[in-house]
Amino acid sequence: MKNERGSATVFVLAMLGALLLAGAGIGVLAQGQVAAIQAQTAADAAALAAAPETFLGGDPMALAREYAQANGATLIRCECPVDATWQTRQVKVTVRVPLAIWSLGGVGVSRSAIAEFAPVALLRD
């Protein structure tokens, strides 16, 4: 008869290792999803803040950066030219939220948003 003492211990340790790896994988996926939602929220806020500023004569890029940072993101790009005409305009921003995953280093999630602003709407109220 073979001595099989300790074989259950090896099996249990292997199963625990597999469960730990699966849990870590689920954690990374969840963290990525949270970062994507945060990035989209920051992009939406930045675009909505910058759009009216293109007409009001301020600095739409600075305002977009401020709103992105307030939502935990970095402004990567802002297509928000100042336009004093009464024409409808669109602002497009791209932001990035850092994703701290120990094995991947400095990874981030980027999202973009477009906001439209019609200065004529200011005259209706």
Q: Considering the entire predicted model, what is its pTM?
A: 0.80
Encoded tokens for 4: 């099989």
Mean pLDDT, each 10-residue run in order, the chain (125 residues): 72 86 81 93 98 94 98 97 93 94 77 96 76
Nearest to 98 by CA among 30, 32, 14, 44: 32
- The per-residue pLDDT for 105 is 67
Distance, CA of 47 to CA of 113 (rounded, Å): 6
Cα maximum dimension of the chain: 94
Contact 73, 96 (CB under 8 A): yes
